[in-house]
């Protein structure tokens, strides 16, 4: 029988093995506030200041009330996300990917600023869809939201689907709609497989997104919560960071990607 090799005889190339991605990140609206996009449930959030505005994101109200749809299209046109640029938080997560430590970037945001910052689209899991595309409730035809908004500017208050005449909306998941099962499954697998799960800029009040924290911890991951306000999962976290995201997240990335 051949003698066993001493530990020091390991192939030199083993030290060059790429880092296995081990960090899964969940982002919420707080990541985009430094880009000029208000959050929803924070002290100055859209729904905090105007609870009635939440109806515009409810699928039942949207389908039943043409006036809700008209107001929704006006709100979409005025959304500051169209003019927003990525901030230091978005760029920090791009750096985490470049250093080979990012397994998946799960986001509740619909603004696509992660992709605009340079995050690889294949790593970004959009749990709540996106505002850039439009979709018909009736036939499923997809298009670009800006094309629909051009029709609003031309006088169509509630632009119907050009393919079938059905009700048109952005490709976002509204209250009362189910999440895409494939996206949700991919997010759950990313939470199960990571060694560190970072929840940043999210109130962790909306499920099933918030439940990914518990999935990660149950499978042995360290949970880090980065959020200005308390969340229901703070007690489960190994660390809770209250500093502003624009400074806290770059520092955390430096630590996690050493």
Structure tokens, 88:
């230091």
Q: Tell me the pLDDT tens digit for each residue of 163-180.
A: 999 999 999 999 999 999
The two tokens of residue 235 are 């007690």
Q: Rounded to an integer, what distance in angstroms lies between the CA atom of residue 257 and that of residue 100?
A: 8
CA-derived radius of gyration, the chain: 21
Sign of CA dihedral 205, 208, 209, 214: positive
Residue 4 predicted with pLDDT over 80: no
Sign of CA pseudo-dihedral 127, 133, 134, 135: negative
Q: Any idea which residue has 């869809």 for tokens?
A: 129
What's the chain's average pLDDT? 89
pTM: 0.86
Q: What is the pLDDT of residues 74-109, one digit of tens each?
A: 999 999 999 999 999 999 999 999 999 999 999 999
Residues belonging to the active site: 128
Query: For position 42, what pLDDT does the model report?
Result: 55
* CA distances, 254 to each of 128, 173, 238 (Å): 28, 33, 18
Cα–Cα nearest to 253, from 51, 122, 111, 91: 91
Q: What is the pLDDT of residues 129-160, one digit of tens each?
A: 999 999 999 999 999 999 999 999 999 999 99
Task: Give just the sign of the alpha carbon dihedral 170, 142, 110, 146.
Answer: negative
Could you tell me how many residues make up the chain?
258
pLDDT band at 50 (very low <50, low <70, confident <90, very high): low
Q: Is the pLDDT of residue 48 over 80?
A: no
Structural domains of the chain, with CATH: 16-37+86-128+178-258 (3.40.50.1220), 49-78+131-172 (3.30.1600.10)
Under 8 Å between Cβ of 101 and 256: yes
pLDDT band at 161 (very low <50, low <70, confident <90, very high): very high
Look-up: residue for tokens 């999210």? Answer: 202
Give the span between the Cα atoms of 258 and 256, in whole angstroms.
6
Output the pLDDT for position 51. 57
């Amino acid at each position: 029988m051949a003698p066993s090799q001493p530990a020091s005889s390991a192939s030199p190339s083993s030290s060059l093995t790429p880092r296995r991605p081990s960090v899964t990140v969940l982002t919420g609206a707080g990541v985009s506030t430094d880009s000029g996009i208000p959050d929803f449930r924070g002290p100055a959030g859209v729904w905090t200041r105007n609870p009635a505005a939440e109806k515009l994101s409810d699928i039942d109200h949207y389908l039943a009330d043409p006036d809700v749809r008209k107001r929704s299209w006006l709100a979409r046109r005025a959304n500051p996300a169209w003019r927003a640029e990525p901030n230091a938080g978005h760029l920090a997560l791009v750096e985490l990917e470049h250093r080979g430590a990012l397994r998946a970037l799960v986001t509740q945001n619909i603004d696509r600023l992660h992709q605009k910052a340079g995050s690889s689209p294949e790593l970004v899991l959009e749990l709540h869809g996106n505002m850039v595309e439009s979709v018909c409730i009736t036939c499923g035809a997809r298009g670009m939201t800006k094309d629909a908004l051009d029709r609003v500017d031309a006088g169509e208050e509630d632009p119907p689907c050009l393919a079938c005449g059905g009700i048109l909306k952005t490709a976002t998941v509204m209250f009362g709609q189910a999440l895409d099962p494939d996206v949700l499954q991919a997010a759950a697998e990313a939470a199960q497989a990571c060694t560190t799960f970072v929840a940043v800029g999210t109130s962790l009040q909306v499920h099933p997104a918030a439940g990914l924290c518990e999935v990660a911890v149950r499978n042995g991951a360290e949970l880090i919560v980065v959020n200005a306000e308390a969340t229901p999962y703070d007690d489960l976290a190994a660390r809770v960071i209250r500093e502003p995201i624009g400074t806290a997240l770059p520092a955390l990335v430096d630590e996690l990607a050493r």
